[in-house]
Structure 1
């Protein structure tokens, strides 16, 4: 009897080992299929040469900002968000797509990133990723995420200098319509994560001093090369700067503000560095799903994107922000697209059939002579 029981137990263990092995094999097969699909989509071309960003012949450059997608692998809700992204891309035909954090928040994290990226590769439009506080809470570190996505077709994301904090601190150079000369810059920053548990330093980490020093040095370099004239620039982050609180209630601030600004408690001075460097015209963030407002503080716009994901809190709708730069001028237009009504708890996802450019702002004209 004892021998019989041991035999049954041994068989049960073998069966469980087989189940575990098969589950792992299924993940591996899916992973390989995704890799093969990406290879087929890219047509087997050599994409070591990254796409060149350039103003068009009309002197315009259009960026679509998606934020807080919170993509989950093998989820019908996330699949419906991919449809939203495809529709915005087809409608706006942007020159660049920027995701400002909390992009993939999923188990099977590597497969999730590969699955998510297929839509962008198929679009054949340059794209860039900034990490959010939730991206690094699953199975991959920030560095491992970068190792997964950097070098994908049409992807301009860079891990950034190893000697400064974070992953994904980099600059995108937009060339002139008539030459290879830089005409505008896009600064991308890793705004890190939150403190778990909360400490007396606050809830969220801050932009590190070595990141700010890196920005200042890069700005000085580009300004010097441009005959001592700062190039028009934008900045993209995930967690908003503390200064976002200062534009609430101003008569020139437009858009929805339905939650507290969840910024670091400690202000490390990135905004001040931008004031002194005189290149950044606007900062674009995500993180707070019930905010999509934009305002101006001392000639720098502070703006939220519009939350995109279906599996996130928030009830102001789902969509994107569009930004259109003008060559050789410190000018840009920006607006919100609201494509879906959304309620995660009630599983509401209803198309708005709305083509309106909501909360349209023309910088600097919308703020000239009106700032308090």
Structure 2
């Protein structure tokens, strides 16, 4: 009887200890010991490769200088009647409207995507700035401007992070064959900057060109700021980047196995010195402010002209310029200030640019790119479409 009583007491004692430990775990330790019940999410990828539509078109939305802050950061240079209700959310709303109105196939962000000094969390700002693009499920890519790195991430960290975001085709730098394993690729290290890469656009499905590149998009890091001979200046595209660009262009055209070159576009942030000095063959659009560029001329224009395949380059940086100017046969087009936290001019609407490439129609086949057109839209009540122009034709 005594033995039975001791066994019951021991059982009750052990039960109380077990219950106490479980309560302690639930009340004090669960947050640190239990693996989160949230679903692990992987990066969402767009349908690849990029390709022209069955109607022979490929449309790009260029977004320049969003200057996104925290999401609630106040607007700059708007009418006094708009100021109290204006924030980064106006930029978000504008981007959503542009996506809905134009239904682009691809979105190109050309730098100063976030305004680093206005946020203490670069990652959170990037998610908010690129949110509409990710929500749309459209493929998109970005380069950096001169303000993106002013928060909590370096330029290398920013491009790595952006490359991992949903539907992003951005790359920290070009991929090259791993010398130790031909079946693998690695990121090129012998190149200046972060965010140098290229994307190929294939022909429409169901046609002979469906399995080959018919259009190229080059992305380049134009840097942020530098000191040259004691003078503070803006960044520039370096020779190592131009060497890569020449090689990539030559490689694409050799792969084409056709007599005609593959037309290409380039995207970067800071204008080249010739945009300041000219002379332009033609100018189309608003030239409202002094061109802010580097004092270093690294030969970008000379390189693009000698390559011959880049028909137009799309830039940002100077928010009050939205013109396209032709230099030696290459068009340089500003996106115009898109973001409300970036500087502007009160009463001068924020704006975005659209680029449309159209293939030439053969008897039973889509042929190469025939025309490249562009236009802009204002963030007004009607998303006013204006300044439509043809940048290039194959003929």
The TM-score by the shorter chain falls in which range?
0.7 to 0.9
RMSD: 2.3
1:243 aligns with 2:274: yes
The number of residue pairs the alignment matches comes to 313
**Which secondary structure does the structure 2 equivalent of 1:306 belong to?**
coil
DSSP 3-state at the match of 1:57: coil
Q: Residue 101 of structure 1: which of 106, 111, 114 is its match?
A: 111
Partner SS state of residue 73, structure 1? coil
Closer, same or farther: CA 75–188 of 1 in aligned 2, 3 Å: same
**Residues 47 and 151 in structure 1, CA contact (< 8 A), matched pair in contact too:** no
Q: In the TM superposition, what are the counterparts of 1:86-125 in structure 2 within 5 Å?
A: 86-105=96-115, 106-125=119-138
Distance 1:119 1:176 in 2: 27
Taking the aligned partners of 2:52 and 2:316, their CA distance within structure 1 comes to 25
Shift in alpha-carbon separation, 1:354–1:110, aligned structure 2, 3 A: same
Aligned pairs (5 A) from 1:104-253 = 104-105=114-115, 106-160=119-173, 161-177=188-204, 178=207, 179-195=210-226, 200=230, 203-227=233-257, 229-247=260-278, 252-253=282-283
Instruction: Give the conservation status (yes or no) of the 8 Å contact 1:307–1:318.
Output: yes
Listed one character per residue, the Cα deviations across residues 189-236 of structure 1 (whole Å, up to 9, x for unaligned) are 00001136x754551122110000000011111111123532100000
Match of 2:323 among 270, 289, 293: 293
- Worse-superposed segment, 304-313 or 143-152: 143-152
| Residue-by-residue CA offset, 1:304-330 (whole Å, 9 max, x unaligned) | 002111112122320200000122135
**Is contact 1:247-1:296 (8 Å) kept?**
no
What's the TM-score once normalised by structure 1's chain length?
0.79
Q: Which moved more, 1:143-152 or 1:178-187?
A: 143-152
Taking the aligned partners of 2:280 and 2:43, their CA distance within structure 1 comes to 50
Call closer, same or farther: CA 1:355–1:148 in 2, change over 3 Å: closer
Report the Cα distance in structure 1 between the residues aligned to 2:285 and 2:375, rounded to whole angstroms.
Answer: 9
Flag structure 2 segments of 5+ consecutive residues without an equivalent.
Answer: 1-35, 74-86, 174-187, 360-367
**Taking structure 1 as reference, are residues 102 and 221 closer, same or farther at Cα in structure 2, changes over 3 Å only?**
same
Aligned with 1:262 (options 292, 295, 306)? 292
Q: Is the 8 A contact 2:192 2:238 kept in 1?
A: yes
Aligned to 2:307: 277
What TM-score, normalized by structure 2, do the two folds share?
Answer: 0.74
Aligned 8 A contact 1:202 1:266 in 2: no
The match for 2:389 is: 361
Unaligned runs of 5+ in 1: 1-32, 340-351
User: Following the alignment from structure 1 to structure 2, what is the Cα–Cα distance between the partners of residues 254 and 132?
Assistant: 24
In the aligned structure 2, how far is the partner of 1:253 from the partner of 1:202? 29
Whole-Å Cα distance in 1 between the matches of residues 274 and 91 of structure 2?
31
Q: Structure 1, residues 46-89: CA drift from partner, whole Å, max 9, x if none?
A: 63676421111111100000110011114151112101000000
Pair 104,221 (structure 1): closer, same or farther in 2 beyond 3 Å = same
For the pair shown, which has the larger CA radius of gyration, 1 or 2?
Answer: 2
